[in-house]
Amino acid sequence: MTASISDALLDWYGRNARALPWRVAPGAPMPDDPAWPYRVWLSEVMLQQTTVAAVKPYFEAFTQRWPTVEALAAAGEEEVMAAWAGLGYYSRARNLVKCAREVAARGGFPATEAELRELPGLGIYTAAAIAAIAFGRRAVVVDANVERVVARLFAIAEPLPGARKAIRDCAEAITPASRAGDFAQAMMDLGSRVCTTKAPRCLLCPLSPPCAARAAGIAESLPVKPAKKAKPERRGTAFWIERANGAGREVWLVTRPGRGMLGGMRALPDDGWSARSDGTGEAPVAGEWEPLGAVRHTFTHAHLTLAVRRGEAEPEGAGEWWPLDRLEEAGLPTLYAKAARLAIARGGWNDA
C-alpha cells in the first residue's frame, strides 16, 4: 500500500506540479549549481506561515540582490530587514542573516538533517525539507499541508497537537527512498490545491482510493484542531514628526530594539506599546500632538489598534530624517507602513 501511495502521488505530481522559481521539474536532476541549496533554504524560510503568492516577489528580489549565500552573509542586517519588510514574522529575517553567515563560515550548506538543524532558525521541518529537496536525502517532511493529507489518508482522529506523533509515523511509512524531494513537494501541492482545509476536492485526488477519511465520510473534519484562544487587544500610539528640508519634506524614523516585536526594523517613534496593553505610554518628546486617526493590525498573538498623532517637535535620541518621497525604501514593517499611509493621506503642514 505504501509503495502504491507514493507512486500514485508522484505520478500526479509529474502532471500537476506548480512551476515555482525555487523548484526543478518533477523527476529532473538537481541543478549542478552551488547556489541551489541556498535557493531551497531561502524559499523554505520565506514560506514559513506565508503564502506562495506573497513569497514569490520577495524571493525574486532577494536572489537578484543576493544571488548566493555568501552575498547574503556579507549584507548588513539592517538592509536585509528592510528588504524583508512586509513579509512578516521578522525573527525569520534576523535568523536568515545569522544562518547565512554560519553557512558561509562553514563553506556551504551541510547535507544531513542533523547538521542542518544546527544552523540558526532551522527546525525539524525546514531541515528535513532542505535535506530532501536540495540534497535528495530521504527525509520525512511534515508541514501543515502534509499534516492534513496524512491525517485524512489514515483517518487519524486524535486532536492536535497529540496526533502529531501518529501523523509523523504514518508520513515516515509512505515516504519513498528515492525522489524524496519530489515526494515532499507533491504532498505540499496536494494539500494546498486538492486536500484543502475546507471542501477538499476528493474526486480529483490521486490518493482518494486508499483514503480512510474519505471512505468514512469525515475528511473535512480532520485533522481535529484545538479551539482557538481569543487574541488579546492592545492599544498604542505612533508619532509622525515631519519637517521641511529644501524642496522636500522628511519624517523622523527610529530603529526598534534588536529584541522584541519588530526588532531591528525602522519604524515611527511610539509610546512603547509592545510592552503594554493599554496604550498609556508617553510621547517620545514633549509637544502638541494632533490626532490623525488609527490603524489596526493583527499579529500572531494579539490585535493592535495604533493611534497616529502628528506634531512639530525636535526629536531626541537616535534616529534619522527620511525623505518622504523615498519612504517606501525605508523598509517599514506593515504596521508602520499603514500608519505612514494614514499620516500622508491626512496631509502635512504648509502643503501649499
Catalytic positions, written as ranges = 44
**Helix/strand/coil for 256:** coil
Answer whether the bond into residue 333 is a cis peptide, omega within 30°.
Answer: no
Sign of CA dihedral 154, 158, 160, 161: negative
Answer whether the bond into residue 226 is a cis peptide, omega within 30°.
Answer: no
160's grid cell = 492536535
Instruction: Decide: 186 and 13 in contact? Cβ < 8 Å.
Output: yes
253's grid cell = 524614523
Give whole-number Cα distances, 108 to 1, 36, 37, 73, 145, in Å. 38, 11, 9, 11, 29
Sign of CA dihedral 95, 101, 106, 108: positive
CB burial of residue 299 (10 Å; 0-12, 13-18, 19+): middle
Instruction: Decide: 17 and 23 in contact? Cβ < 8 Å.
Output: yes
Give, in degrees to the nearest 5, the angle at Cα 144 between 170 and 73.
115
Pairing of strands 248-255, 266-267: antiparallel
CB burial of residue 53 (10 Å; 0-12, 13-18, 19+): exposed
Main-chain dihedrals φ then ψ at residue 243, nearest 5 degrees? -145, 160
Q: Where are the beta strands (DSSP E) in the chain?
A: 233-245, 248-255, 266-267, 290-298, 303-311, 320-323
